[in-house]
């Protein structure tokens, strides 16, 4: 339990690092300072593109590293410290001019997410290799979801926190909030390096070149299916969820930022609360029926939740949407957890086929796909506001055409439902069942018991 909790604490840092950036860019620079949302979309996306490209490099570097402290832990420490130092700088642009903010956010965003890569890729790889048991891996990797979700209770409140009058403005508010988050990130991010233990036998394996590692990884059919389903859903949901704050402020409350950000915070906390139940439900089903059936059940709940928003997003009953939010939370978080845990089973299959422990490169390619998804979603989110003719200044002044807000709701609801259905379709082809995973474990255990014979 000590190792489980220590490793899981890193998920709290992960949540704050990744989502703290996304949660504050538009509230600070678009809603607060009226910076062009299309430029902000690109400023959010370019660091993610750069970050995604560095993921495979970091993964292979970690797999090939040999130190007295292991392959993962030195990078976890270095990455977490650099991230904490860079976070407040994101909000210190020298002026609110569109292009000044664009270049500032782009440059410091690249450095910030590079530091994040140095932390997150070795951190995820460490989790994959702490156990090789099919069900124990599920139980171990459920804990980061429990701990990481702690941040999700107050993450939706960040736009509200930075509006606090005592800060003197959204920019200074974002800086102070970032400093507070940095303290939590530092403590929680260092714990995995202290208590995490790697699989010792991997230290003596041969090193593999980056291009060869990527080629082997992309030949793995099960991995490609998991990644494709994850990419489709993450890109779509991140694109449309970026619009949720706008829905609450402008569609539900007609431009009242205080009421809209408060409702967004309550909705986010509701989602986080039911996400705990989602993790528990997913863990329970997966240890009895397997990971694929668990994922299908959870995605079905998610689909039902996002579809119901068509009826629950109503200005006359603002809090009715919480029923849909609860249902989405009950399904979605466990689905993300299943996608991640499935990659651990893929690593075992890869060792069976290729004789190598390559958790780093699998984590990296998976991370590459997720970060590219978020990067694309950042562009699409900013562009989506432009395509539906949304203008934050006009909306704040009450001069926005009401039909724009109707389009905002339509895109927000139907877009989410579509990508969840597509993700379920892709998941249908995932080939690793419980029986297949247990067979793989038997083969690997036999090899480890008699390594000379296998060689």
Please give the tally of structural domains in the chain: 1
CB atoms closer than 10 angstroms to residue 275: 26
d(CA 3, CA 234): 29
Residue in 426, 438, 142, 146 with CA at minimum distance from that of residue 296 = 426
Residue in 317, 326, 378 with CA at minimum distance from that of residue 48 = 378
d(CA 20, CA 158): 8
Three-class secondary structure of residue 317 per DSSP: strand
Helices 2-25, 98-128: crossing angle, 10 deg rounding: 160
Paired strand residues for 314: 317
> With the CA atoms of 61, 63, 68 and 70 taken in that order, what torsion angle do they form, in degrees rounded to the nearest 10?
120
* Paired tokens of 73: 């832990």
Contacts for 89-95: CB closer than 8 Å, 24+ residues apart: 90/21, 90/24, 90/174, 90/178, 91/24, 91/28, 91/171, 91/174, 91/175, 91/178, 92/171, 92/175, 93/29, 93/171
Three-class secondary structure of residue 241 per DSSP: helix
Three-class secondary structure of residue 314 per DSSP: strand
Q: Does residue 455 lie within any of the structural domains?
A: no
Q: Does residue 69 lie within any of the structural domains?
A: yes
Q: Does residue 202 lie within any of the structural domains?
A: no
| Domain that includes residue 411, residue range | 2-197+208-450
d(CA 95, CA 103): 11
Q: Does residue 284 lie within any of the structural domains?
A: yes
pTM, two decimals, is 0.67
Q: What is the CATH number of the domain that holds 421?
A: 1.20.1250.20
Q: Does residue 144 lie within any of the structural domains?
A: yes
Residue in 137, 123, 133 with CA at minimum distance from that of residue 195 = 123
- Cβ(189)–Cβ(13) under 8 Å? yes
- Cβ(377)–Cβ(242) under 8 Å? yes
Paired strand residues for 317: 314
Residue-level pLDDT at 231: 87
Residue-level pLDDT at 279: 86
- Cβ(84)–Cβ(186) under 8 Å? yes
Contacts for 210-213: CB closer than 8 Å, 24+ residues apart: 210/56, 210/57, 210/60, 213/56, 213/59, 213/60, 213/63, 213/358, 213/361
Cβ-based neighbours of 155, under 8 Å, separated by 6 or more: 15, 16, 19, 20, 23, 268, 272
pLDDT along the chain (455 residues), means of 10: 84 87 84 83 84 78 77 90 94 89 93 92 81 74 79 77 80 89 92 75 61 76 88 86 83 84 84 86 88 93 94 93 93 86 80 73 74 75 77 75 86 91 92 84 76 46
Residue-level pLDDT at 455: 40
CB atoms closer than 10 angstroms to residue 329: 28
* Paired tokens of 378: 């950042």
Residue-level pLDDT at 443: 86
d(CA 366, CA 228): 10
Distance of CA 20 to the CA centre of its chain: 11
Three-class secondary structure of residue 97 per DSSP: coil
Q: Does residue 203 lie within any of the structural domains?
A: no
Cβ-based neighbours of 349, under 8 Å, separated by 6 or more: 220, 222, 432, 437, 440
Report DSSP state, residue 433.
Answer: -
Q: Does residue 322 lie within any of the structural domains?
A: yes
d(CA 38, CA 80): 30
CB atoms closer than 10 angstroms to residue 449: 9
Residue in 377, 381, 375, 364 with CA at minimum distance from that of residue 110 = 375
Scan for tokens 């570097």, then name that residue: 61
d(CA 243, CA 247): 6
CB atoms closer than 10 angstroms to residue 147: 22
Helices 291-312, 257-289: crossing angle, 10 deg rounding: 150
State residue 317 phi and psi, 5-degree precision: -130, 75
* Paired tokens of 98: 């569109």
Q: Does residue 115 lie within any of the structural domains?
A: yes
């Amino acid at each position: 339990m000590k190792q489980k909790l220590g490793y899981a604490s890193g998920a709290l840092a992960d949540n704050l690092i990744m989502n703290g950036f996304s949660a504050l860019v538009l509230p600070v620079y678009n809603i607060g300072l009226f910076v062009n949302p299309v430029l902000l979309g690109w400023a959010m996306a370019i660091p993610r593109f750069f970050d995604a490209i560095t993921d495979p490099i970091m993964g292979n570097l970690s797999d090939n590293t040999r130190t007295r402290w292991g392959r993962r832990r030195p990078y976890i420490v270095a990455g977490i410290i650099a991230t904490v130092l860079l976070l407040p700088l994101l909000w210190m642009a020298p002026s609110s001019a569109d292009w000044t903010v664009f270049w500032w956010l782009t440059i410091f965003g690249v450095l910030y997410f590079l530091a994040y890569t140095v932390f997150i890729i070795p951190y995820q790889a460490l989790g994959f290799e702490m156990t090789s048991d099919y069900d124990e891996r599920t139980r171990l990797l459920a804990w980061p979801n429990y701990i990481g979700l702690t941040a999700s209770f107050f993450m939706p409140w960040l736009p509200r926190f930075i509006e606090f009058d005592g800060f003197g403005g959204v920019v200074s508010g974002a800086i102070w909030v970032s400093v507070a988050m940095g303290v939590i990130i530092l403590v929680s991010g260092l714990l995995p390096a202290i208590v995490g233990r790697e699989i010792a036998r991997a230290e003596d394996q041969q090193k593999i070149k980056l291009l060869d590692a990527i080629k082997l990884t992309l030949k793995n059919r099960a991995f490609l299916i998991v990644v494709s389903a994850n990419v489709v859903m993450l890109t779509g949901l991140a694109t449309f969820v970026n619009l949720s704050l706008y829905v609450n402020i402008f569609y539900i409350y007609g431009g009242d930022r205080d009421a809209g950000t408060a409702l967004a915070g309550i909705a986010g906390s509701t989602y986080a609360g039911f996400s705990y139940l989602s993790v528990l439900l997913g863990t329970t089903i997966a240890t009895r029926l397997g990971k694929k059936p668990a994922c299908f059940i959870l995605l079905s709940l998610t689909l039902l939740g996002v579809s119901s928003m068509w009826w629950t997003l109503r200005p006359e009953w603002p809090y009715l949407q919480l029923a849909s939010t609860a249902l989405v939370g009950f399904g979605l978080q466990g689905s993300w957890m299943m996608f991640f845990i499935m990659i651990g089973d893929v690593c075992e299959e890869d060792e069976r086929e290729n004789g190598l422990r390559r958790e780093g490169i699998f984590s990296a390619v998976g991370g590459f796909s997720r970060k590219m998804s978020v990067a694309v979603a950042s562009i699409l989110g900013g562009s989506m506001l432009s395509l539906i003719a949304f203008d934050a200044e006009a909306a704040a002044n009450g001069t926005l055409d009401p039909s724009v807000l109707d389009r905002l709701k339509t895109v927000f609801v139907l877009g989410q439902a579509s990508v969840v259905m597509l993700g379920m379709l892709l998941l249908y082809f995932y080939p690793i069942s419980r029986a297949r995973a247990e067979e793989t474990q038997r083969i690997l255990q036999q090899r480890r018991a008699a390594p000379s014979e296998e060689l």
